[in-house]
């Protein structure tokens, strides 16, 4: 493992984490939120992550574990690691209260005061909160009429939830990029697209709680920094376990990590990205984004052969 490879892996992880701040900036500076773009891009991210997980990452993990344990036991170990990754991210989700889900969708009237100081604050008391799928129609408001302390708590829980999610994502991106830079680019791009709506989700309740754009942007931005922190932790782990050389790690460790990373990415795609994409979009926007992500990922892998 060379310093240049480490630098590339860290840079890709930082890029993915910064996208949370980009989402927050969109909420504050864009004249209107392009919901169709968010739907297609989030679906695209899910397509990339699903395709690369099943076609590239999981087979790499299975191959490594098969070399370590033989063909039947290696395949069993790979499947076990895959579902262990799903169980890990599912366990993390279980500790995050549902009301503070970091993928809540916000209506256009909710976002308007963030990027236009002259825009009136919506009258949330006259509009019932909708916990289900929301587009940008008036009936899609969330209940931001609750006391500011509760709103701030909701925003901070969202930031915490995204931070917890982003840590293993950063670790996965770093390890993948270290082993295969092209694979790392694909994962970083997918995670970056997935982080943009999260930045918006954190900004909205904190803005309504504090009235300060800078405070909302700060918490949104910092929640994304958990990804490079995860990368740094992975790097220190390599230093301690293998003297900084990823190739010196036991092959069964690398195989298990890759299979677990595939499980984590599949869970994120199915539990977070696709529902978010469908909530933002109309018609087949989500499906078009999903297929486009798979197509672009498959083409890029073919061109890199």
Q: Supply the pLDDT for residue 129.
A: 44
* Distance separating alpha carbons of residues 235 and 246, to the nearest angstrom: 9
pLDDT along the chain (305 residues), means of 10: 74 88 75 72 87 90 93 95 92 63 56 64 51 41 54 69 76 79 81 78 74 81 85 79 61 86 88 80 86 88 73
Query: Chain centroid to CA 227: how far?
Result: 9
* DSSP calls for the chain: --HHHHHHHHHHHHHHHHHHHHHHHHHHH-SS--HHHHHHHHHHHHHHHHHHIIIIIHHHHHHHHHHHH-HHHHHHHHHHHHHHHHHHHHHHHHTS-GGG-TT----HHHHHHHH-TTSPPP-GGGS----S---SSGGG-----S-HHHHHHHHHHHHHHHHHHHHHHHHHHHHHHHH-HHHHHHHHHHHHHHHHHHHHHHHHHHHHHH--HHHHHHHHHHHHTHHHHHHHHHHHHHHHHHTT-GGGS-HHHHHHHHHHHHHHHHHHIIIIIHHHHHHH--TTHHHHHHHHHHHHHHHHHHHT-
- Buried/exposed code over 267-301 (b: 16+ C-beta within 10 A; e: otherwise): bbbeebbbbbbbbbbeeebbbbbbebbbebbbebb
pTM, full prediction: 0.71
What are the tokens at 173? 């991106």
Q: Supply the pLDDT for residue 94.
A: 76
Q: Supply the pLDDT for residue 199.
A: 79
Domain locations in the chain as residue ranges: 3-303
Give me the count of residues in the chain.
Answer: 305
Contact 193, 200 (CB under 8 A): no
- The CA-to-CA distance between both ends of the chain, in Å, stands at 22
Q: Supply the pLDDT for residue 81.
A: 96
Contact 50, 136 (CB under 8 A): no
């Amino acid at each position: 493992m060379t310093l240049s490879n480490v630098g590339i892996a860290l840079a890709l992880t930082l890029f993915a984490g910064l996208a949370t701040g980009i989402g927050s900036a969109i909420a504050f500076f864009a004249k209107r939120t392009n919901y169709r773009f968010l739907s297609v891009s989030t679906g695209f991210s899910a397509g990339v992550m699903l395709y690369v997980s099943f076609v590239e990452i999981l087979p790499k993990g299975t191959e490594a574990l098969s070399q370590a344990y033989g063909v039947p036991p290696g395949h069993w170990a790979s499947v076990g690691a895959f579902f262990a990754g799903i169980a890990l991210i599912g366990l993390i989700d279980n500790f995050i209260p549902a009301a503070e889900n970091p993928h809540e969708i916000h209506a256009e009237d909710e976002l308007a005061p963030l990027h236009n100081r002259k825009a009136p604050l919506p009258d949330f008391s006259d509009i019932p909160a909708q916990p289900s799928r929301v587009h940008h129609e008036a009936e899609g408001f969330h209940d931001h009429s609750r006391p500011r302390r509760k709103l701030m708590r909701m925003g901070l829980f969202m930031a915490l939830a995204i931070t917890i999610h982003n840590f293993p994502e950063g670790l996965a991106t770093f390890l993948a990029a270290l082993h295969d830079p092209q694979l790392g680019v694909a994962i970083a791009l997918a995670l970056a697209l997935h982080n943009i709506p999260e930045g918006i989700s954190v900004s909205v309740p904190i803005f309504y709680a504090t009235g300060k754009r800078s405070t909302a942007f700060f918490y949104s931005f910092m929640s994304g920094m958990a990804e490079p922190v995860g990368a740094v932790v992975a790097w220190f782990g390599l230093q301690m376990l293998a003297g900084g050389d990823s190739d010196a790690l036991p092959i069964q460790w690398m195989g298990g990590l890759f299979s677990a990373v595939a499980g984590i990415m599949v869970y994120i795609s199915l539990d977070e990205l696709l529902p978010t994409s469908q909530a933002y979009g109309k018609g087949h926007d989500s499906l078009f984004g999903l297929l486009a992500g798979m197509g672009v990922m498959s083409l890029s892998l073919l061109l890199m052969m």
